[in-house]
Amino acid sequence: MSRKICITGLGSKIGQAILEQCARESDTLFLQYRKNKPDLDKLSLPDKIEVELLQVDFNDAVALNDFCTKISKCDVIINNASEVITDILPMIDDNAIDKMINVNVFALIKICRAVIPYMSSKRKGTIINISSIAAHRANRGQTVYAGTKGFMESFSRALVAEYGARGIRVNCVAPGPIESGSLMEIMNYAPDEINQSILSKRLGKPKEVASIVEYLISSSAEFINGETIKIDGGFIRGL
């Protein structure tokens, strides 16, 4: 059965892993990125898919509205786009705060609001929101970022309370230390501290996050709704 799927944050390794893991023949895919344009030719994708690659900055209100209109009739939404700016609270300026709220909170709300009417009319729809272990085990420098991810998880549960009875499933995946993004910069100067805080003694791989997402959008997960699944290798102390 063909599906219309929207995945945001395709500039990241996790976003690309989710695409590779979840795309199926006959799917129509709306793929958002901000500045790091993904090279789809280097990814393992089915031949018979329709792809629309969209460069959209979620800090641009007009562009965000246009994007929401375009993806409003999707069957699956995977909100992976995220803005991560770390520093102790007095050192974070208003611009940085605005960026994290615009991408991590405001865009999330508007995208979900855009697709709910269509999903509700079909009595079927799946939304996966990529949160972070920071919502549960925040560290220095993560006050605003952790707060936005905490909002994401609470928002997702409330959305299920409103629309779960209409066949809409909303779940979160909360990655911990994964070989992707800003964590790799920390690994350059504090690899021992990171590895000692993970019971698995290694970083997670983007594909491991993608595998959870693949399961959650499948029919096998139809009885899972309003949950947050952590994938952190037994992350116990923080970075």
Sign of CA dihedral 224, 228, 231, 234: negative
Residues 201 and 235: beta-carbon distance below 8 Å: no
Taking the alpha carbons at both ends of the chain, their separation in whole angstroms is 43
Q: Can you read off the two tokens belonging to residue 229?
A: 């699944």
CA distances from 205 to 23, 51, 181, 184 (A): 19, 25, 12, 12
- The residue written with tokens 């709306």 in the block is 30
Burial of 156 (0-12, 13-18, 19+ CB in 10 A): buried
13-22 vs 206-216: helix axis angle to the nearest 10? 40
Q: Would you name the residues annotated as active-site residues? A: 145
